[in-house]
Amino acid sequence: MNKQEKIKNFNPNNIGQVNDGMYGLPFTLEESDTVLIPVPWEVTVSYGGGTAKGPEAILQASYQVDLYDPLVKDAWMKGIAMDELPIDMMAKSDALRALAEKCIEAQANGAEPDSLKNDIDAIHAGCKWMIDQVYNKCLHYLQQNKHVGLVGGDHSTPLGMIKALGQLNKEFAILQIDAHADLRDAYEGFEFSHASIMFNALKEKAVSKLVQVGIRDYCEEELQLIQNSGGRVVTFFDRDIKRAEFNGDSWDRICNRIVATLPQNIYLSFDIDGLDPKLCPNTGTPVAGGFETEQVMYLLEKIVLSGRTIIAFDLNEVGVGETDWDANVAARILYRIANLAAFSQTKT
């Protein structure tokens, strides 16, 4: 049965079938316009764990998502599929996570990173392996003209994607939805820490700009990097957003100012802890404050309706707790982001 026959025989109003693919859709990777790459990795998380299980949890929660999209007509027909979960990556993540925890504990007790060089070198090599795996996988699908999204894992996971995009795009901006600035240099001794993802992304020549939205947890060194960036890093702090609204400003006008900072091509990096923690209580490092889901979707819709292009995206730091609440929220956000990105790239 080809894709058109599957579309004809599929009822999007029915309950999702777990024997089908992501969101209960009947399409293969080859038939789907959008491919999601799962990256079950959390080696350098510095507080709570569980994000390596995020991709699998989101896949399972996806079967409960209704397929009607309020902006993109018949979005499901384009097809969304998740690549196979890499079991070897999760096993390597678990092993290196145990080593990283030992290093973090030693440093918390006064040890210098230099005294842990052998362990840190092993962690570095493992993280570099993960980045290379993601780079190759993303490049493979991007070169097939797929709309590509990455599902983490912790926030270190998209660096390979950003590098792959740099091979195919002269320049693009990163739009970061996050509670944290993630601009630390080799946090806790780990060059590829989840807290260093944007510091590392800025090393890529193709990244012309970093626009951060919702930041509310950062150190002075990160603030200085932002202030000394010459406009390459533009940060809309959660505190400033809230105070503008308290003084009578509207989210619509604030979104207009955010959109105005963005160039044509945008990579969306969405750390779920950018949301209010009630929506992601099991994320690795929850921070009070943040957005409701529709606030973020309103911003993303304005970006797409402005004619700008979301060239790729990630959703990361989705934790797994006693219930599937975090994954439930994430699966719904992921569906709408995937549809918006595809819409922005095809303008149909």
Domain ranges of the chain: 3-346
pTM above 0.85, yes or no: yes
Cα–Cα distance measured from residue 74 to residue 12, given in angstroms and rounded to the nearest whole number: 9
Contact between residue 181 and residue 216 where contact means Cβ atoms under 8 Å apart: no
Which two three-digit tokens encode residue 263? 């160039």
Which two three-digit tokens encode residue 143? 């070169």
Task: Give the three-class secondary structure for 347.
Answer: coil
CA distances from 156 to 46, 69, 235, 270 (A): 12, 30, 20, 12
* Opening angle at CA 39, ends 191 and 107, nearest 5: 30
pLDDT at 50: 84
Exposed/middle/buried for residue 113 (C-beta within 10 Å: 0-12, 13-18, 19+): middle
pLDDT at 15: 77
Cα–Cα distance measured from residue 37 to residue 22, given in angstroms and rounded to the nearest whole number: 12
What does DSSP say about strands 265-271 and 309-316: parallel, antiparallel, or unpaired? parallel
The label of the residue with tokens 């990455």 reads: 150
pLDDT at 348: 44
Contact between residue 334 and residue 58 where contact means Cβ atoms under 8 Å apart: yes
CA distances from 213 to 210, 234, 274, 335 (A): 10, 9, 8, 21
Cα–Cα distance measured from residue 199 to residue 181, given in angstroms and rounded to the nearest whole number: 9
Contact between residue 83 and residue 29 where contact means Cβ atoms under 8 Å apart: yes
Output DSSP code: residue 15.
P
Of 205, 181, 190, 189, which Cα lies nearest the Cα of 287? 181
CATH of 3-346, one of 1.10.10.60, 3.10.129.10, 3.40.800.10, 3.40.50.2300: 3.40.800.10
Cα–Cα distance measured from residue 264 to residue 273, given in angstroms and rounded to the nearest whole number: 26
Calculate the dihedral angle through the C-alpha atoms of 253, 255, 260, 265, rounding to the nearest 10 degrees.
-160
Of 312, 313, 307, which Cα lies nearest the Cα of 347? 307
Mean pLDDT by 10 residues, the chain (348 residues): 94 81 95 98 79 96 95 96 96 90 82 80 92 98 97 95 97 98 83 88 97 97 98 98 98 98 98 98 94 98 98 96 93 98 84
Cα–Cα distance measured from residue 163 to residue 203, given in angstroms and rounded to the nearest whole number: 10
Which two three-digit tokens encode residue 144? 């097939």
Cα–Cα distance measured from residue 195 to residue 255, given in angstroms and rounded to the nearest whole number: 26
pLDDT at 191: 76
